[in-house]
Amino acid sequence: MKATLLLFGFLILSACSEASSPTHHSDPVPVEGQQFFGALKVTDGKLTDAAGGAVMLRGVSFGWHNWWPRFYNASAVKWLKSDWNANLVRAAIGVDPANAYLGNPDFAEEKIKAVVDAAIAEDLYVIIDWHSHDIHTDEAKSFFSKMAKMYGDKPNVIYEIFNEPDYETWAEVKRYSEELITEIRKYDPDNLILVGSPTWSQDIHLVAEDPILDQTNIMYVLHFYAATHKDYLRDRAEQAFQKGLPIFVTECAGMEASGDGPIDQASWDSWLNWMESRKISWAAWSIADKNETCSMLLPEASSTGQWTESTIKPWGKMVKKGLQRNKN
């Protein structure tokens, strides 16, 4: 009885403290082994909870919504949490191809809402990914202002405003990103914003030399494919990390940069160990059933989770194992 009364009193005090907090998010009391940390922030170049404790997100990215919309549903999100042990999902909103956002924005928003709403319901973090290689400033501002108005009070939501700039300079990407950040902050003052880096989000060293100033809770995107990107890119990323640049790996995989070819287990293990040792969050690519190495599922896999070992491809099994090794 005494323990019950103490717990009740603690909950009352916690509720009062949260009610008086200036942030618009409510943060859960941390528990051992938890997967959801409440509102996220960037502290001294690291991803932390609201109290400044270091946290790490690990999960998977859905494939392009316009090509693999069948996986964009609540049941698949729930399965990735319960069976794969993901605490992060990434919704890759295709922008340029046929039936993608520029041609069919209503369909894109329908798919993104399905994943985001499910992630919120499951206490998962979710990246809203503007999955483009080109700059579309006005369209991106319209999209993200709508997302920020809709989800700005949900600590689960993370905005990735430019997936992979290809041939744009850092000056161009930086200028675009500053506009997008300003737009999002009109409606959401504190959720995490992820900024792409040049050359398919690999030139993180250029960003470290000239980061965005006077903004809070932003991190910079690094992508790698382990069979192509080896020590040279990890060394580059390590140098940026040592300079205090906040890094978030929103897309990674074990094969070649084409998404195909053999998996390089040794290189993937080196990358995974590097991310784990530095608490750099990551999302692996991708939940899709394309005939390529990086698509994690076979065509006969269900659209709604319940994936058996016989429907998961080798890369999917590696990712699932990597996620489950952190399961308590």
Q: What does the pLDDT look like over 94-124, one tens digit per residue? A: 999 999 999 999 999 999 999 999 999 999 9
What Rg value do the Cα atoms of the chain yield, rounded?
A: 19
pLDDT at 67 over 70: yes
Report the candidate in 13, 10, 23, 3 with the shortest Cα–Cα distance to residue 188.
Answer: 23
Residue 87 pLDDT more than 50?
yes
145 — phi, psi (to 5°)? -65, -40
> Structure pTM?
0.90
**Which amino acid is residue 234, in one-letter code?**
R
- Bridge partners of 126, per DSSP, are 89, 157
Kindly report, residue by residue over 177-217, the tens digit of the pLDDT: 999 999 999 999 999 999 999 999 999 999 999 999 999 99
* Spatial distance between the Cα atoms of 123 and 100, rounded to a whole number of angstroms: 28
The least confident of 20-24, 105-109, 253-257, 323-327 is 20-24
Summarize pLDDT for 28-40 with one digit per residue, the tens. 333 334 589 999 9
Q: Helix (H, G, I), strand (E, B), or coil: what is residue 316?
A: helix
Closest CA to 209 of 201, 218, 193, 197: 197
pLDDT over threshold 60, residue 25: no
pLDDT of 256 > 70? The answer is: yes
Residue tagged 């290809």 (tokens): 166
Of 56-70, 218-232, 314-328, the range with the lowest mean pLDDT is 314-328
Of 256, 252, 287, the C-alpha closest to 63 is 287
**pLDDT over threshold 70, residue 68:** yes
Domain range summary for the chain, segments of one domain joined by +: 35-324
- 35-324 belongs to CATH 3.20.20.80: yes
Average pLDDT, the chain: 91
Task: Indicate whether 5 pLDDT > 90.
Answer: no
Which DSSP symbol is given to 154?
A: -
Q: Tell which wins on pLDDT, 69 or 26.
A: 69
Which ranges in the chain belong to alpha helices (H)?
2-19, 74-82, 105-121, 137-151, 170-185, 198-201, 204-209, 231-242, 265-278, 314-324
Q: Using an 8 Å Cβ cutoff, are 263 and 296 in contact?
A: no
Who's near 127: CB < 8 A, 6+ residues apart? 61, 88, 89, 90, 91, 158, 159, 160, 194, 250, 283
DSSP string, 228-259: TS-HHHHHHHHHHHHTT--EEEEEEESS-TTS
Q: Which residues are catalytic?
A: 164, 251
Confidence (pLDDT) at 34: 53
Q: Which tens digit of pLDDT belongs to each residue from 275-324?
A: 999 999 999 999 999 999 999 999 999 999 999 999 999 999 999 999 99
- Indicate the pLDDT class of residue 22, thresholds 50, 70 and 90: very low
pLDDT score of 127: 99
Q: Over pLDDT 90: what percentage of the chain?
A: 88
